Homo-oligomer: A and B are copies of this chain.
Amino acid sequence: MLSKSQIKLVNSLKHKKFRQKHQLFIVEGVKVIKEILKSNLEVEALFATVDLFSFNSENFYLISETDLAKISALSTPQIALALVKIPNNKINVHQQNSLTVALDGVRDPGNLGTIIRLCDWFDVSTLICSPDTVDCYNPKVVQATMGSLVRVDIVYEDLNQVLTQTNLPIYGAFMNAEPIYSTYLERNGILVMGNEANGISTEIENLITHKISIPKFGSAEVESLNVATATSIMLSEFKRNQFTEK
């Protein structure tokens, strides 16, 4: 059975302030938790209605479905919920030898989750988020990543500082710039994607060395692509050369 203080702790982690205070985040679902147990991430506690895990610890709690519903952030709770320690990722942009993605103020949890999954698919090992980007340990983001959160190193850093320190080409997605289809895209660089409504901020725009666009083929009225779909097309373009050169 869950104690009142456990219920209070888990529910507090739905808020960023308490995730930062306790340095913990919530992960739900058997499959993702199994992946986390195999990864470098540290599981602080595991609550489940069935013991499907080889988690030999006094911090494993077999609980009822009623108790799981009290702590789950999902409308349909999924057998297990883990409290995981927030990893202390560090990056050195200069030492990257592949493409890095940087997000400037992406606010929607679903978009961030989708972008993390795309980084995993396209072998982008590091994702740099501006401090005003939605927290990647928000339960909605964690759920949308479908486990990819484990495999992508995510850091929150002042983009201005990171980008002024690098000699790598810095690509930025804009509405009317050089079409990606005819731009030579370096393997080793940084791709900056902007906020859903306002795009890349002026401060960061000044640091972009290559402004690129996804050409529009359709009607003049369609204003923009969603940031997650635009990121998917950009990443596919960056990687396709690598594929066709093989």
A residues touching B (Cβ–Cβ < 8 Å)?
35, 110, 114, 117-124, 146-148, 151, 179, 181-182, 214-219, 221-223, 225-226, 228-230, 232-233, 236-237, 239-240, 242-244
Contacts and interface: CB of A to CB of B under 8 A. Distances in A.
A118 B239 CA distance: 21
A111 to B, nearest CB: 11
19 contacts: A110-B110, A114-B226, A114-B229, A117-B226, A118-B225, A118-B229, A119-B218, A120-B219, A120-B222, A121-B225, A146-B223, A151-B218, A151-B222, A181-B243, A182-B244, A215-B239, A229-B229, A230-B232, A232-B233
Nearest to A215: B243
Contacts of A118: 225, 229
Contact of A233 (B35, B221, B236): B236
A221 B216 CA distance: 33
A170 B221 CA distance: 29
Where chain A touches its partner, the secondary structure class is helix
A215 B239 CA distance: 10
Contacts of A244: 181-182
Contact of A122 (B110, B181, B217): B217
A230 B121 CA distance: 11
B232 A225 contact: yes
Contact of A219 (B151, B182, B223, B233): B151
